[in-house]
Amino acid sequence: MTTKPNPFTRLGITESPVILAPLAGVSDHPFRRVCTGLGADLTYVEMLSATALLFDSPRTWSMMKRHESEKILGVQITGRSVEELARAVSVLDKQNFETIDLNMGCPVSKVVKSGCGSSLIKDPENVFRIVKAVRESTDKPLSVKIRLGWDKQLITGLAVADAVEKAGADWLTVHGRLRNDDYSAPVDLEAIAAIKRSISIPVIGNGNIFSRADAIFMKERTRVDGVMVSRGALGNPWAFREIATGSSDVELEEWLIAVRNHLTWQQEEYGDQGGGAVCMRKHLLWYVRGWPGARKVREQMTQVSSLTGALDLIEQLAEHLRSERCSIRQETVLETGASRFQFDPKWDMDRSLDRGVGDDLMTAIQ
């Protein structure tokens, strides 16, 4: 039996990568550039809908935008049938992406109702047919992102993993929750470990990676090849640097440079007002966490309608912090040793945050 070449080596990245998840409404090129600058080995555009792509939706094409400085970029797609996904992947194969991921984990109702996302993992045989057909549509490294199963009655992770491997995918990403779980459910590391033991293609572990300690814990307990960071990167792209180096300190001046860069890149891409400003406001509300005075800035931030106005608030916060000689971002370190953002109720987001997921599909078929 011949062993497949390592897909990460093929992509020119480490065999044990730390990956920024595809994040709907978040992982556009300004945010990806910030994360790459801080050590993300691979990043993705937000999830696309195969139906929307085949309808030639302008929104889908705009979601695929890549900045010239991005050396490596993945694309993720979901769809409802073998035929649709195979056709969509042949389109993506001709675009400027180094790797393609099939989303079989998205729990959002409108996505699942249309037969996409995590509804696909209900039927491992169909997963096999999809991945096999898609495999024939592209020679690029191909991966699949799944959850452990639909609900407690339908835990299909092992059968799906087997189908994904046999159909020829290059690696599998496993979010260690069920479709019906929300973020308060723990990540089932034993189930991820069982999947890792059962297949020989690389496995990437996903779920509750907020810090280096979380990444190490996930790797030790499951033996996964690498990890994917999702909520852990929101407002904290330094998570990538921390995972790589162990240094969790974020200094005020470097924080300010990253936030300014992100804001400027957003402005260049979307203009100063409108959707771009709304999107950036969300990031800024996340960025100010951990700084004294954050609450006041958060309140003021909800009032501003332009990126210039938002930048003013950030500069004022920085000035205030300098005057208070506050130069390192504070973290909530829990006595239990648990991840710092994990049990913050404000941070324990539910699926409402996934708004925006599948919107390219909705726009295309309206």
Per CB under 6 A, contacts with ligand FMN among 339-358 are 353-354, 357
Would you give the distance in Å from CA 123 to the centre of its chain? 24
Out of 33, 175, 281, 283, name the contact with ligand FMN by CB under 6 A: 175
Residue with Cβ nearer ligand FMN (234 or 318) = 234
Q: How many residues bind ligand FMN (CB under 6 A)?
A: 24
- In the residue annotation, 106 being an active-site residue is answered as yes
Quick note: the x/- pattern for ligand FMN over 62-101, rule CB under 6 A, is --------------x-------------------------
Provide the minimum distance between the beta carbon of 12 and ligand FMN in the complex, in angstroms, as a whole number: 23
Stretch that binds ligand FMN, among 201-209, 236-244, 254-262, 317-325 (CB under 6 A): 201-209
CA distances from 295 to 45, 290, 292, 298, 341 (A): 31, 10, 8, 5, 16
Return the C-alpha torsion angle 301, 305, 308, 310, nearest 10: 10
Shortest Å distance, C-beta 338 to ligand FMN: 13
Cα 164 to the chain's mean position, in Å?
A: 20
Site for ligand FMN in 98-137 (CB under 6 A): 103, 105-106
Closest to ligand FMN by CB, 25 vs 309, is 25
What angle in degrees, to the nearest 10, is found between the helix axes of 157-166 and 124-135?
Answer: 20
Select from 22-30, 121-129, 158-166, 235-243 the region that touches ligand FMN (CB under 6 A).
22-30
| Distance of alpha carbon 101 from alpha carbon 99, whole angstroms | 7
224 binds ligand FMN (CB under 6 A): no
Q: Does 26 bind ligand FMN (CB under 6 A)?
A: yes
Is the alpha carbon torsion for 27, 63, 77, 74 positive or negative? negative
CA distance 228 to 121: 20
Nearer to ligand FMN, 26 or 178 (CB): 26
Q: Among residues 45 and 86, whose Cβ is nearest to ligand FMN?
A: 45
Angle at the Cα of 295 (from 294 to 297), degrees rounded to 5?
65
What does the radius of gyration of the chain's CA atoms come to, in whole angstroms?
20
Contacting residue, 230, 266, 267, 339, with ligand FMN by CB under 6 A: 230
- Answer whether 144's CB lies under 8 Å from 104's CB: yes
* DSSP letters spanning 302-343: TT--BHHHHHHHHHHHHHHHHHTT--B------TT---TTTT
Q: Which of 106, 116, 279, 326 is catalytic?
A: 106
Span between the terminal Cα atoms of the chain, in Å: 49
Smallest gap from Cβ 271 to ligand FMN, in A, equals: 23
Closer of 318 and 357 to ligand FMN (Cβ): 357
Q: Of 231-270, which residues contact ligand FMN (CB under 6 A)? A: 231-232
Tell whether residue 149 is a contact of ligand FMN (CB under 6 A). Answer: no
- Check: CB of residue 216 under 8 Å from CB of residue 205: no
Rounded Cα distance between 366 and 364, Å, is 6
Q: In the complex, which residues of this chain contact ligand FMN (CB under 6 A)?
A: 21-26, 46-47, 76, 103, 105-106, 145, 175, 206-209, 230-232, 353-354, 357
Active-site residue list:
106
